[in-house]
Amino acid sequence: MAKSKIPEGELNLTQLKKLIKQYNVKMSVDTKGMDRDTLIKEIKKLGYTIDHKNKTLTHKDKGKKMKRKPETIKMPPAPAKKTDADKKESKVKERERIIKYIIKNKDILKEDRIKGLL
């Protein structure tokens, strides 16, 4: 499949997949192996319009009673970024977990592949 140039201001494949993931909370669409153009066709086939500016999917028949179909799907918020303190804390916890495992399983230190690392 040839890569198509994404017009400026429109959602890329990753962002479209995030919207579909939010949609999949209520419905199901398999996005594996789809390129951007195929995914857009699939979204339109389901009766949704893509609002690239506001990063939402809106159902064309808004206001009509629909079974299980959400009217508007918004982009999920981005996860909070880890601070340096959080990263150090997770490294310390990981190191402690490894040390506890080694203390619990002392016989692992006798293996040849581990002796080469020490």
In the chain, where the domains are located: 13-74, 84-115
The predicted-structure confidence for 74-103, as pLDDT tens digits, reads as follows 777 778 888 999 999 999 999 999 889 888
Place of tokens 């079974």: 67
User: How buried is residue 1: exposed, middle or buried, by Cβ count under 10 Å (0-12/13-18/19+)?
Assistant: exposed
CA-to-CA dists, residue 99 to 28, 49, 103, 116, angstroms: 44, 54, 6, 18
69 against 48, higher pLDDT:
48
User: Does the structure show a pLDDT above 70 at 65?
Assistant: no
The predicted-structure confidence for 2-42, as pLDDT tens digits, reads as follows 566 777 777 788 887 777 777 665 566 677 788 888 888 88
Q: What's the whole-model pTM score?
A: 0.42
